[in-house]
Structure 1
Amino acid sequence: MRLVLAGSGLAVFLATAAIASAQQSSGQRGQNATERDPNEVICRRMRDSSSLARRTRQCLTRAQWDRLAEQQRANSPAMTAMSGSQSGQ
């Protein structure tokens, strides 16, 4: 049981580190964002939520990736607030 919990904790840590790294590198690239084509197709490998090892490839335009990131940033405070209210506080 401890091994399973340690493994899931490691997965959360790695996912958090990957997100932070992606945000940092996108911040560095943000300087040239006005020079980039919004219709450029960018493919990313995403972790499949039904498996720890399986990954899927998702291709979207730069504008679609930007909209998706903005929606996730907008929804983040709401999700945090909901999780805090259900913790019994």
Structure 2
Amino acid sequence: MAVLTINNIGQSFGAFDLFQGASASIPHDGKVGLVGPNGVGKTTLLLIVAGRTTPSSGTIHLARGTRLGYLPQDASLAFEGNDHTVYDEM
């Protein structure tokens, strides 16, 4: 059983197609690396999977009971206004 399945995901900005037709399935014990040059849509794809943005096309399915977390590239924004240290958070 796949934990995550994406089918024909696409993201467009106006007439510009960032990517189209991306499909993948991640098994329960799977590990994933997302590698590519700048500007090809890696972060956009992760934002779509995390539910932070909506794809222009395609579908996403998470297995029941799956919890997903997302930490932005600029992690300082995620902790803005929080005066805790790493030790405090542990």
With the length of structure 2 as denominator, give the TM-score of the two structures: 0.26
Higher helix share: 1
> Considering only CA atoms, is the larger Rg found in Structure 1 or Structure 2?
1
* Structure number with higher strand proportion: 2
